[in-house]
Amino acid sequence: MESCECKCTKECVFVPYLPLNKPEKYASLSKVFKMSKMARLLKDIEPSQRQVYVDSICFEAEARLRDPVWGCVGIIRDLKLQLEILKRELKKKRMALEEIQRSIILRARF
């Protein structure tokens, strides 16, 4: 893998967790984070959780590169907004369904 600073060697702690066919993931990480610090943190994490850690920091780095101001927070904000819109839409649909059900019940009585 290549970054802005150096070539990744077989001894690189990220090799087991970053696909060799996706060098852009390492490039994203190295643009946003100091790799020596990320490597130290990786070594301190339990081996069973290391892939989750690398996936998380890759996602965070890519989000920060796409949106330097908001990063992951922007994604969360957008998802919350979408959720609120969908909740309102669902509430309207449920109210419409209840109205149809009442109408059917009233027609069945006559």
Report domain extents, the chain. Answer: 1-66, 70-110
Instruction: Give CA–CA dist 110/36, Å, rounded.
Output: 78
What per-residue confidence (pLDDT) applies to 4? 43
Instruction: Give CA–CA dist 88/106, Å, rounded.
Output: 27
Which of 34, 55, 33, 53 lies closest to 45, judged by CA? 53
Q: What is the pTM of this model?
A: 0.73
Task: Give the model confidence (pLDDT) of 24-33 as tens digits.
Answer: 999 999 999 9
What is the C-alpha R_g of the chain? Answer: 24
